[in-house]
Amino acid sequence: MLTFAMSAFAQQKNEKSPFDKFGKITNENLSKTIYDIDSNANAVVLSNVGDSYLEGNSKGWFSLRTSVHKVVHILTEKGYDEASGQIRLVVTKNGTEKISSFKAVTYNLENGKIIQTKIGKNDLIKEQVDENNQLMKFTMPNVKKGSIIEYEYQVLSDYMSIPDPWYFQSTTSPTLWSEYTFGVPEFFTYQITTRGFIPLLTQDPFKKQETFRISESRTAGSSDAVDLKAEVLYRRWVVKNAPELKEEPFTKSVRNHLSRIEFQLATQQYPLEFRNLRNSWQDITSGLLESDQFGRKLNSNNGWMKEEIASTISGETDPLAKAQKVYAFVRDNFKTTTPYGIFMTDDLKNVFKTRKGNGADINLLLTAMLRNINLDAEPVLTSTASHGYAFEFFPMINSLNYTLCKLEIDGKTYFLDATQSRLGFGRLPDYCYNGYGVVVNKSATSVQLSSDNVTESRKVTMFVTPNENGYSIKMKKDEGYYHSFDIRNDISDEGQSKFIEDLKKNYPQNTEISDVKLEGLKDFNNPVEVNYNINFPDDGENIIYMNPYFGENYSKNPFASTDRTYPVEFPYTQDETINASIIIPQGFKLDELPKSVKLKLDEQGKSYFEYLVQNSGSVVNFKSRIVIGKSFFMPEEYNNLREFFNFIVKKQAEQIVFKKTAE
Amino acid sequence: MKNILLIFLLTGYYSVFATDKKFPVSDIPDSMRTDAHAVIRLQEEKVKVNSLSSVTHLHHFVVTILDENGDRAGALIAPYDRLQKVININGALYDEEGTLVKKLKSKEIEDISAVSDNNLYEDSRIKVHHFLNNKYPYTVEYFYETEITHTFFFQPWLPQTDNHTSVQYSSYEIEYPNNSSLRHRDFNISKPVMSKMENFSALKWELKNKPAYKTPDAFSFWRDYTPAVFTALSDFQLGDIKGNMETWKGFGISQYQLWEGRDVLPEQIKNKVKEITSKTAGKKEIIKSLYKYLQQNTRYISIQLGIGSFQPFDANYVAQRGYGDCKALVNYMHSLLKEAGISSYYALVNGGDDNFSRTRIIEDFPSFQFNHVILCVPNGKDSIWLECTSQSLPSGYLSGFTSNRKALLIKEDGGVLISTPQYDYTTNKQLRNTSISLDENGDASINVETTYSGQMQDVLFDLTHNNSEEKIRKVLTRAIGIPSYDLNNFKYVSEDSGIPVLKEELAITANNLANVTGKRIFISPNLLSRYSDKFLFDSTRKTDFHFYSSYRQIDSTEILLPGKDYKIEAGIMPVFIQSDFGKYSLICSLKDGKIICRREFERYDAVLPASRQKEILDFFGKIYKADRSRMVLVRGGE
C-alpha cells in the first residue's frame, strides 16, 4: 500500500510530455520567442521528465536507476545559467552512485535550418567536492539567445531507500511540463509526500511483471544469484505550467513552497523477509534510542561524567539551579563544529573528552548530563527554518536536521540548545521555531515550536531635557532578546568601540553621543540594556521641530512588493514600545502636536499600532507601541499588512513643533 | 628494584616532556593582545628556487587563538592545483601553558574543491584542517610544503591580512640561484637582509611585534597600510615557456609565446567573417559588427585547468563550443579581426571595481599582477577596447571593471604598459529631473527622468540589460530611497554612441512623501540623489585618501504644493562647497506654490594626504547633511 500524505492529487487520463522522446525539437519550437506562462522569462523549461525504478544488483540488494530528460528553451542571455548543469553523486564506502549514460544537444535555428551541436559522457567534468561528494559538471555548447537545449542522463544509485525528491517547480525558470514516474516492485512500499501549492495530476498507474536478479560475490570467481519475479507498479505524477517561484523577504525557506514529491522506503515483504522499515515516528524514535549514533548511552550510568558534574553543580540543591549550571557548563566549555545534525559524530564519552562536536553531540551530551542528576531531560529533533517544515503526518528522518534538549521541572518545560555561545537557558535560536518537532522517547511525543510563541519585545525610554546648547536626551533601550543576542555576538567579534562607532553613525553629524553603557552583556538569560546620552545642538532658530522617535522609527516600509504569492513568516511576534518625556524649552511654547491614534491590524486587536501624545504644562509625554501578535500571514492578508506599515511609516514621521514666545 | 627503575625512568621522561613546553600564552605581551582575536606567534615562510621549473615553499606558522572569533586564524588552508602540490602537512595543538594536546593525523585533513560556481571548470582545490578547541586561549602549529613547477610568479608575502590578528614574529625568506636575479617591492616593512652562499643567494624580511590595528575606513588603499612583499625572478619558466620579465617588454615577449598560433579559425567561421565584412564599410563599423557577432555567439564560462590558467584555448575550441574564458574569448575575437585584416592586441589587466582600490598594479615592477584580459584594437590615436566576456557592452566601452588603469599590451616584440580609457566627470554623469506633485495628505505622484552616462550607468546597465521587466521591477521596488511607494511605470532606453547613455523614466506614487500636519508641510526635496556614506574622524589615520573615479550629478527638482498659499517657515539655506577634489551646491526656493531645487555635485580623481582628513570629512559631512535637509512650510498668512 502506498500512503498518501496529502490529497492534492487529481486523477487524469494518461498524457505524455510533448517531448517524450529525445530529439523531438521542431522548427516551430525554436521559432517561439515568448511564452504565455511568463512573458518575462529568461528561460523556460519545456519539459522535465524523471523516471526511477529498482533493479537487482551484485551487492546482494537493489539499486535505484533514475533517468532525467530535460528540455529548456533559452530566451535571453540571463537565461544562459540554465545551459550549465551539475549532477551530484555520493560515493562512500557504504554505497556509490554513478552516471551510466549522458547525452546532450543544443539546437539552434540558422537560416530556417535546425543546427545541432552534441556533447556526450566524455564532456562531463568531474569535481571531487569532498570525500563523499562528486559533481559531474557540464555546459552546453553553442548556446545563444533562442537556443533549445536537451539532455538526458541516467544515474545508478545504491541509495534506494530515500530517492532524491523530484521538484516539479524551480526558483529560476517557469516549467511547462514536469513529470515523475516511480516503479516499485510489490515486495517494497514507499511512503510518499507532496509539498507546495500546485496540485499534482496523477496518471493511471500500470503494472508489469519483471524479474530482479540479485547476486553477491562470495569468494573470488564465484557468486550466488537469486531471481525474484514480481509485479512492479508504475505511478506517474505530472505538473503543468508551474511558474517560477521567487524568493521574497520574511520567508523561512522558499523550499517550503516549491512543488515537489518525496519518497521513503516503508516496508519490504514477501518474498523478502517482512520488515516494517519506517512507518511511524515511534519507530523512528525507538530506533534512535537504541542507536549508537544517538540515544543508546543516554540512560547508561555514564560514571565518567559524574565527577565533573559534581564540581559544576557543587552546593546547588534546587533542580532548576542545577540544570542552569549544567547547561552553562556545556555551552561555555564545548566547541560546536556545526549546530546542525541529528546523528552523533562521536561516542558520548569522547565528545565529553574532546569537548567538541556537532549539534547532536552537544545537545545529547547535555541531555545525558541532566539525566545523570536525575532530571527529566529528553532529546528533541526539529527542522530549522532554512531546512523547511517537517510534518507530523509524514514521519521521515530526513525532514529533521537539528537536535535540542527538552527539560521538565515542576511541570514547566524548557527547551535548551547548548550549541550557541551566548544563548540563555531556555532560549532557542529563532530559526528553531519552525513548527513540528519530535521528542525522542518511546511515544514520540510531538512538540510544536511556533514562532507565535516567541515575542521579541523592545522598550525605549527617552528623557528629553533642554540645556544651554540645545537639548539632551537620556536614552534607555531594553532591546529585544534576539537583537540582544546579535549585539552580544557583534561585540564579541568587533568590540564595544565598533558598536559605539556604528551607533554614532545613526545620528546626524552635529550630535554628540556620550556615556554609552551596555548592561547585561554577560547575562545571557536576559536582554541587553543600552544606555547613552545624545546632545542635539540648538540651531538658534525660532521654531523647533522635533520628531519624538529620535531615530527609533521605521524609515521605510519593510514590505516593498505590491503583492505576494506565499505567506509572510516572521521569526517571532513583536512588541515594541517607545516612550519619550519631553520638557518644553524655556521661552518656547507648543505650537503643533500630532494627533493620537490607534490602528488595529485585525478585528480582535491582536496586532496594532498605537500613537499617544499629550501635553501637560511644560512636559509633552509621548508613547508609541507596535504589537504584531502573530508570526504568520497568509497571502490574502498581505495587503493589509503592507498598508499597516505604510501607516506606521507615515505617522512616525510626524513632528512636534515648538515656537518661541514673543518676549 | 626493576619497578622502581621503571618509575624513575617514566618520571624522568615525563619531566623532560613537561618542560618542553612550546609557545606558552603567558609569553605574549599585552600590546599584542589589544584588539586581537589571534596572535601570530611565529611564522616562517621559506621559498627555495631550485631551478626555473622547481620551487619549494616551506610554510610554518604558530598561532595563538585568544577567543572564538580568532578561530579562523588558526585554520590550515593550503591551496593546490595542477601547477603546485601540497605535501608533508604536520600540525599540533597546544594548550594555554604550551603543553602538547594532540598532533594532527593525516586522515583528519580535508581535501575539498575550491570551486563554488557551477559555471566554473577549475582544478583549484584546498587541503583544510582545523583544530577546533573548546578552551581559549590555545595555540596551533602547522608545517607544510608546496612544490611549485614554475617560476612565473610567487605568492606575495602578506604577513598580516587580518586587522584583528597581531604578529609577534613573521619572516619571509627567498633563496635563489646566483645565476638568476631576484627583484622585489616592499610595502610597510623594513628592508631585507641579504646573504650569499656558494651557489645561492637569499633575501629575508622580518616583521616583529606588530599589534592588531584598525582598518582606515574611508577611501583607503590597502598597500598604504598592510605589510607586503612582492617578489619576481627575472628569468622564469612556465611549462615550456621560458622568458625574462625584468622589463614589461620581456614579460610581453614570453606572454606572446603563450598566445601565438592559437588564432586559426575553422573554414565556416572564416566565411562568416567574409560575409559580415562584405556587408560593412569602415574599420570601426567592421569591428563593431564582428564584436556583435562575438557577443551573440559566445558566452563566458570560466575554465582554469593547469597551464590553461595562463594560456587560451585556441580559436577552434571557441568556434566549436561557443564558450570560453576571458583568454579564449579575447583570442577568438582577435582571430575574427585578423581574418578581417584588422590587427589587435591582447591586453592583460587587473580587473575589479575601482572603488575597492585593490586593483592598482605596481607599474614599475614587471611581474604577473593580472587577473583578466581584454582586447585592444589600435585605431589612430584612440584605440578601440573590447571586453570579450560581455554579451551586452557597447563596442569600444570599458566599464569600471577595467577602465581607468594600466594594461599590458602583448605584442610580438614585447609588452607595453598603456592606459585603458579614462572617463572623467564630463563623461560619467547623472542628470536628473524630478517633478513631484504633492496632495493634501502628503501623498505624491513623482516623475523622474534621469540620463546616466559612462560609468554612472554601469550598475543600471547590468540590471536593465536583457533582464526581464519583472526582475527590474523587483530591484527597483526596493532600491528607491522613499519610505513607502509604488512603482507605477518605468522605462529604460540605451543609447550607444561610443559612450553608453542610459535614459530612465520612473513614475512613482509615494504614500507619504511629505508629512502634512494641521497647518504645516515637512518635506525633504532631495529624494533620489542622496550622498550615502558617513565617516567618523579617525585620529590615528596616517594613510592617504584615494578617490579613483570622477563623476558629476545634476538634479533639478520641482515640487508642486497642494495650494499656492504656503510660505516658508524653515527654509533650506543655499549651500556652496568647493575643493580641489570636488564641489557641491544646493539652492532651493519657493515660488507660486512650487518648490524648486537645484543640486550639483562633482567629485574628481585625487590622492590626498591624511593631514587633510578634517577637511575631507567636513566636505562629505556637509553634503550628507545638505542632501537630507528639510523644508517646513506653513499655510496661509499667520
Dump pLDDT digits (tens) for A622-656: 999 999 999 999 989 999 999 999 999 989 989 99
Place A130 in a pLDDT band, splitting at 50, 70 and 90. confident
Number of H helices, E strands in chain A: 9, 37
- The Cα–Cα gap between A167 and A196 comes to 10
**From the CA of B266, how many Å to the nearest CA of chain A?**
15
pLDDT in the model for residue B413: 92
Of A84, A555, A592, the CB nearest to B517: A592
Kind of pairing between the strands at A573-583 and A619-628: antiparallel
Q: Are residues B210 and B164 in contact, defined by beta-carbon separation less than 8 angstroms?
A: no
Residue of chain B whose Cα is closest to the Cα of A88: B118
Q: How many Cα atoms occupy the beta-carbon half-sphere of A579 within 13 Å?
A: 8
A563 touches chain B (CB under 8 A): no
Contact B134 A556 (CB under 8 A): no
Mean pLDDT of A383-401: 87
Q: Is A503 in the same domain as A572?
A: yes
pLDDT in the model for residue A536: 86
pLDDT in the model for residue A413: 96
Place A132 in a pLDDT band, splitting at 50, 70 and 90. confident
Mean pLDDT of A336-363: 92
Q: Is A362 in the same domain as A250?
A: no
Query: With the CA atoms of B288, B291, B295 and B301 taken in that order, what torsion angle do they form, in degrees rounded to the nearest 10?
Result: -150
Q: Is A309 in the same domain as A414?
A: yes
Q: Is A269 in the same domain as A295?
A: no
Place B58 in a pLDDT band, splitting at 50, 70 and 90. very high
B637 has a pLDDT exceeding 80: no
Q: Is A522 in the same domain as A620?
A: yes
pLDDT tens profile A584-624? 998 899 999 999 999 999 999 899 999 999 999 999 999 99
Strands (E), B319-413: 323-324, 345-349, 372-377, 384-386, 406-411
Of B322, B391, B624, the CB nearest to A509: B624
Mean pLDDT of B218-246: 92
pLDDT in the model for residue B169: 97
The fraction of chain A above a pLDDT of 70, given in percent, is 97
B629 has a pLDDT exceeding 80: yes
pLDDT in the model for residue A7: 37
Strands (E), A417-510: 435-439, 446-449, 455-467, 470-478
Q: Is A477 in the same domain as A593?
A: yes
A218 has a pLDDT exceeding 80: no
Segments forming the whole domain that contains residue A387: 281-449
Q: Is A83 in the same domain as A159?
A: yes
Kind of pairing between the strands at B499-510 and B485-497: antiparallel
A395 has a pLDDT exceeding 70: yes
Neighbour-count burial of B508, counting CB atoms closer than 10 A to its CB (0-12 exposed, 13-18 middle, 19+ buried): buried
Q: Is A411 in the same domain as A347?
A: yes
pLDDT in the model for residue A38: 85
Place B498 in a pLDDT band, splitting at 50, 70 and 90. confident
B212 has a pLDDT exceeding 80: yes
Neighbour-count burial of B637, counting CB atoms closer than 10 A to its CB (0-12 exposed, 13-18 middle, 19+ buried): exposed
| Mean pLDDT for all residues in chain A | 90
Q: Is A574 in the same domain as A598?
A: yes
Cell numbers 555551552: residue: A331
For chain A, how far is it from start to end, CA to CA, in angstroms? 92
Residue finishing a domain among A433, A449, A465? A449
B614 touches chain A (CB under 8 A): no
Residue of chain B whose Cα is closest to the Cα of A110: B297
- Upstream peptide bond of B216 is cis (omega within 30 degrees of 0): no
A6 has a pLDDT exceeding 60: no
Residue of chain A whose Cα is closest to the Cα of B478: A560
| Mean pLDDT for all residues in chain B | 89
pLDDT in the model for residue A465: 95
Q: Is A248 in the same domain as A287?
A: no
Place B357 in a pLDDT band, splitting at 50, 70 and 90. low
Of B121, B484, B518, the CB nearest to A646: B484
pLDDT tens profile B279-303? 988 999 999 999 999 999 999 988 7
Q: What is the CATH number of the domain that holds A145?
A: 2.60.40.3140
DSSP state of A95: B
Alpha helices in A340-398 (DSSP H): 348-354, 359-372
Q: Is A156 in the same domain as A140?
A: yes
- The Cα–Cα gap between B267 and B271 comes to 6
Residue of chain A whose Cα is closest to the Cα of B512: A650
Residues 179-218, chain B: which have Cβ within 8 Å of A?
A: none
Report the residue of A37, A127, A332 to disrupt the B interface, i.e. the one with the largest count of B CBs within 10 Å: A127
pLDDT tens profile B97-106? 999 998 999 8
Of A80, A143, A561, the CB nearest to B477: A561
B9 has a pLDDT exceeding 60: no
Q: What is the CATH number of the domain that holds A306?
A: 3.10.620.30
Contact B134 A560 (CB under 8 A): no
Residues 17-56, chain A: which have Cβ within 8 Å of B?
A: 38, 40-42
- The Cα–Cα gap between B455 and B424 comes to 9
Q: Is A383 in the same domain as A480?
A: no
A-chain residues near B466 (CB < 8 A):
42, 76-78
pLDDT in the model for residue B358: 57
pLDDT tens profile B508-520? 999 888 988 778 8
- The Cα–Cα gap between A579 and A584 comes to 16
B274 has a pLDDT exceeding 90: yes
A43 has a pLDDT exceeding 70: yes
Mean pLDDT of A312-341: 93
B11 has a pLDDT exceeding 50: no
pLDDT tens profile A421-430? 999 999 999 9
Choose from A27-41, A555-569, B187-201 the range with maximum mean pLDDT. B187-201
Residue B413 zone, left/alpha/beta (φ > 0; ψ -120 to 50; rest): alpha
Place B362 in a pLDDT band, splitting at 50, 70 and 90. very high
Range scoring the smallest mean pLDDT among A164-178, A383-397, B446-460: A383-397
B533 touches chain A (CB under 8 A): no
Mean pLDDT of B266-274: 95
pLDDT in the model for residue B119: 59
Strands (E), A287-329: none
B638 has a pLDDT exceeding 50: no
Q: What is the CATH number of the domain that holds A520?
A: 2.60.120.1130
A1 has a pLDDT exceeding 50: no
- The Cα–Cα gap between A62 and A184 comes to 11
A113 touches chain B (CB under 8 A): no
CA of residue A343 relative to chain centroid, distance: 19
A32 has a pLDDT exceeding 90: yes
Per the structure, the count of domains in chain A is 3
ipTM given for this complex: 0.76
Query: What percentage of chain B's residues is helix, strand, coil (to nearest 5)?
Result: 20, 40, 35
Of A106, A337, A510, the CB nearest to B132: A337
Place A2 in a pLDDT band, splitting at 50, 70 and 90. very low
Report the residue of A89, A143, A512, A642 to disrupt the B interface, i.e. the one with the largest count of B CBs within 10 Å: A143
- The Cα–Cα gap between B597 and B584 comes to 13
The set of residues, in sequence order, having a beta carbon less than 8 Å from that of B201 and lying 6+ positions away, is B175, B176, B178, B182, B194, B195
The set of residues, in sequence order, having a beta carbon less than 8 Å from that of A630 and lying 6+ positions away, is A452, A573, A606, A607
Residues 459-518, chain A: which have Cβ within 8 Å of B?
A: 492-493, 495, 501, 504-505, 508-510
pLDDT in the model for residue B482: 82
Contact B625 A504 (CB under 8 A): no
Residue of chain B whose Cα is closest to the Cα of A83: B119
Place B7 in a pLDDT band, splitting at 50, 70 and 90. very low
Q: CA A116 → CA A24, B165, B562, distances in Å?
A: 12, 56, 64
Residue finishing a domain among A449, A475, A498? A449
A-chain residues near B520 (CB < 8 A):
592, 655, 657
Q: Are residues B229 and B298 in contact, defined by beta-carbon separation less than 8 angstroms?
A: no
The helix (H) or strand (E) run that includes residue B429 is strand B429-438
Q: Within 10 Å of residue A191's Cβ, how many Cβ atoms?
A: 21
Q: Which of A417, A413, A409 is nearest to A445 (CA)?
A: A413
The set of residues, in sequence order, having a beta carbon less than 8 Å from that of B320 and lying 6+ positions away, is A117, A141, B266
pLDDT tens profile B374-407? 999 999 888 999 999 998 899 999 998 899 899 9
Report the residue of A545, A564, A565 to disrupt the B interface, i.e. the one with the largest count of B CBs within 10 Å: A545
Report the residue of A650, A651, A652, A655 to disrupt the B interface, i.e. the one with the largest count of B CBs within 10 Å: A650
Mean pLDDT of A23-38: 92
**From the CA of A115, how many Å to the nearest CA of chain B?**
12
For chain B, how far is it from start to end, CA to CA, in angstroms? 113
B323 touches chain A (CB under 8 A): yes
Residue finishing a domain among A276, A303, A338? A276
Write out the three cell numbers for B304.
582554469
Range scoring the smallest mean pLDDT among A14-18, A553-557, B203-207, B567-571: A14-18
pLDDT in the model for residue A514: 94
The set of residues, in sequence order, having a beta carbon less than 8 Å from that of A8 and lying 6+ positions away, is A194, A199, A200
B372 has a pLDDT exceeding 80: yes
B574 has a pLDDT exceeding 60: yes
pTM over 0.90: no
